[in-house]
Amino acid sequence: MSNWYKISSDQKLDNELKSVIRNTPFMIKMLENNSIPLDRIDNNLTFEVRDLDGKKAQSDSKTIIFDRKVFEDDFMEKGLHFLIHELYHWITRQKERNFYFADPEEIEAFAFGIAYELSKGLSLEEVAKVYYPIIEDHFNDKHDAKKLFQAMVEIAEKKVKSFGD
């Protein structure tokens, strides 16, 4: 493969890197293992090259941005690890969009809310009446909803205990 990336427009970069993802078994497996369809890269991912002032790359839920310097050496031979790293960040954000509770921050926020209610002296049954229906709405399998609720209660109980010290 030529050094297309050294003189590439963002559109050519976008097309080429998407092709790399589609044709690299390792990257395909990353997507599959995280339940992200391969075609999601077509509509939900773009690539850019900018000056990132010391950073090599960064990403959000829509874009992976590489610093220009990443392409000074043989990117396809020595720089794909940057793509792998940022692709995983992008995949994580896609998972969070797919499933509300894939975001660890949501789990913590619910656990803190449950902990607060428990610290006020509410019974677990009273807390469950408030929180369980919210959690259950995000699940097809009620058994999974119960397991997550129980895990959040355990986290909450530890928080209440640690706050009481």
* pLDDT, tens digit (0-9, with 9 covering 90-100), for 27-68: 999 998 887 889 889 988 999 998 998 899 999 889 999 998
What mean pLDDT, rounded, does the chain reach? 86
Backbone CA torsion sign across 28, 34, 38, 41 = negative
Q: Residues 140-153: pLDDT tens digits? A: 778 878 988 999 99
**Among the four given CATH numbers 1.20.1250.20, 3.10.100.10, 3.30.450.20, 3.30.2010.10, the one describing domain 4-98:** 3.30.2010.10
76 HSE (CA, 13 A, CB side): 13
Per-residue pLDDT tens digits for 107-162: 889 999 999 999 999 999 999 999 999 888 877 778 878 988 999 999 999 999 99
Measured CA to CA, the distance from residue 115 to residue 131 in angstroms comes to: 11
Smallest CA-to-CA distance from 114 within 155, 75, 68 is with 155
The CA distances from residue 158 to 3, 127, 162, in Å, are: 55, 16, 6
Between β-strands 46-50 and 57-59, what pairing exists: parallel, antiparallel or unpaired? unpaired
pTM for the predicted model, two decimal places: 0.61
